[in-house]
Amino acid sequence: MKRKIFFMSTKNEDSWQQLLAKPDNQWETGYSAKALAYCWEKAAGFPKDILSTFKNSKINLFKNVELLFAFPEYKVALYGGNRDSQNDIYVVAKSNHKLISIMVEGKVREPFGEVTIEWEKDCSTNSGKPKRLSFLLKKLNLNYSQVQQIRYQLLHRAVSAILEAQRIEAKNALILIHSFSQTDEHFDDFAKFVKLFGLPAKVNSITGPYKIQSEGIDLYFGWSRGDKYYLTV
């Protein structure tokens, strides 16, 4: 699997548009791509709502988190199939001398894609999907019966965080939903996913860790409600 190793810095909020999979369709006021770009560029680090979410978690690892690098629209190659997992933002962070791999998924009203059983419907032995799903389940210590009604996007975003944690030899990974929905739309899908790991999902907080012994990774899950102002820019 080839990895991109050269990155260009963003010039401003609007420079994020050309990094999108569909620049002409995904860049609209009131939607997550644009809200996320304006929020994070303005912060020049972790946005205040993310910092508040870290603080609310009362987890030592997230007490003094420092953002080291952030990569918008970051692609992670996954085994099986031809499509990478294109994450909204990949953050390399540090806290108490420990590295944290963070995959940020921006949302407003958008769902987390299809449930796994629907995604798998056109799954043939030649599609690569059986290998992809088997790979994801192995990384997360889950089985197929557990994920049939789980949104597929959540599986590969979480695995992206794990893979990049392994790449930088971090022992901690976080899948973080930065939702600008003021009613926390689709939080129930996220909570259902987190429940698979025996953890309660909370709005504006981090939960975990779930110890993935086979990978040597502590996996965390977070949901942060973004400032509604960014739905107007």
The domain ranges of the chain are 19-231
Residue at token pair 């994920």: 147
pTM for the full predicted model: 0.95
140, 180, 190 from 186: Cα distances, Å: 21, 11, 7
Tally of CB atoms within 10 A around 210: 19
pLDDT band at 120 (very low <50, low <70, confident <90, very high): confident
Does pLDDT of 5 surpass 80?
Answer: no
d(CA 181, CA 17): 21
Lowest mean pLDDT: which of 98-107, 112-121, 156-165? 112-121
Nearest residue to 94 via CA among 64, 51, 134: 64
Higher pLDDT, 123 or 218: 218
54, exposed or middle or buried, with CB in 10 Å at 0-12, 13-18, 19+? buried
Give the chain's mean pLDDT. Answer: 94
- Looking at residue 1, its pLDDT comes to 52
pLDDT in tens, 36-94: 999 999 998 999 999 999 999 999 999 999 999 999 999 999 998 778 999 999 999 99
